[in-house]
Amino acid sequence: MSARPPEHDWFEKAEQDLEMAYRAMSAGIPLPAMACYHCQQCAEKYLKGFLVSRSVEFRPVHDLDSFPIDLSHDESAFGNDRSH
């Protein structure tokens, strides 16, 4: 049995945040601020998982401006479809 890739933990947490965002909007009284918060958290955790998958070191903070993000050399990781 092979070990799980280290980014898997980040992706799993991201999916939980996404689920919470859906739940916040499908509650009896929708909670859009909470949905937005969990969507931001989901994006942040997917980004951290991506950085881990590329062996890019980062400080474990909630400040996306502090992330070492220059992915121009790695655009293939996101695909080439620029129609969106």
Cβ contact 11:43 at 8 Å: no
Q: Do the domain assignments include residue 30?
A: yes
| CA-based torsion, 74, 80, 82, 84: positive or negative | negative
Q: What is the pLDDT of residue 84?
A: 41
Q: State the average pLDDT over residues 64-82.
A: 57
Q: Is the pLDDT of residue 46 over 80?
A: yes
Note whether residue 11 is domain-resident: yes
**Is-above-0.85 flag for pTM?**
no
Q: What range does the domain containing 48 cover?
A: 7-56
Give the chain's domain count: 1
Give the mean pLDDT of the chain: 82
DSSP alpha helix (H) spans, the chain: 7-26, 32-53
> Is residue 75 a part of any domain in this protein?
no
